[in-house]
Amino acid sequence: MFSKACSYGIRAMIYISAKTNQGIRLGIKDIAKEIESPEAFTGKILQTLSKKGLVDSVKGPKGGFSMTTEQQQVSLFDIVSNIDGDELMTGCGLGFKKCSEAHPCPMHHQYKEVRAQFNTMLRETQLKTLSDDFEQGLSFFHPEEG
């Protein structure tokens, strides 16, 4: 559903938020390893999120990524839209450019209901909730099969 960049970005933000709660600032290598993402790609994604003000980046030997309390309050919608834009939240389910109420594609009416629910979930889910669940062991980056 999400692009690779967006999936990695969400994972990275959850991990950074959880570690920020423990007073830890993280480097790219640690983040990329934990979220199973290529290091250079992770750096590029986090650079974008840092420029957008969603994560703090400090250079130097004691540098790394961390978050303020306010940054931890962002919604998934904020993260997704800053990485992938809003196409997933506003676009046609079949990818048509001119799909509309007046000229719907074959999936338009069914997809708009799913898209509305998806948008609600993204807007109502805060990063802090996800990182708290991760930090408390209620969710995992490496779920076991079974």
Supply the CATH number for residue 122's domain.
1.10.10.10
Q: Assess if residue 141 is contained within a domain.
A: no
Q: Assess if residue 29 is contained within a domain.
A: yes
According to the model, what pLDDT value does residue 86 have? 87
Q: Assess if residue 94 is contained within a domain.
A: yes
According to the model, what pLDDT value does residue 145 have? 58
Is 91 exposed, middle or buried, given 0-12, 13-18 or 19+ CB atoms closer than 10 A? middle
According to the model, what pLDDT value does residue 60 have? 84
Low-confidence ranges of the chain (pLDDT < 50): none
Supply the pTM of this predicted model: 0.91
Q: Give the CA distances from residue 83 to residues 28, 59, 79, in Å, rounded to whole numbers and listed in that order.
A: 18, 22, 6
Domain hosting 71: range is: 4-135
Q: Assess if residue 142 is contained within a domain.
A: no
Count structural domains, the chain: 1
Q: Assess if residue 145 is contained within a domain.
A: no
Q: Assess if residue 107 is contained within a domain.
A: yes
Residues 113, 127: Cα–Cα separation, whole Å: 24
Q: Assess if residue 146 is contained within a domain.
A: no
Q: Give the CA distances from residue 98 to residues 74, 85, 115, in Å, rounded to whole numbers and listed in that order.
A: 31, 18, 17
What is the per-residue pLDDT across 109-142, written as a single tens digit (0 to 9) for each? 999 999 999 999 999 999 999 999 999 999 999 8
Q: Assess if residue 30 is contained within a domain.
A: yes
Residues 44, 38: Cα–Cα separation, whole Å: 10
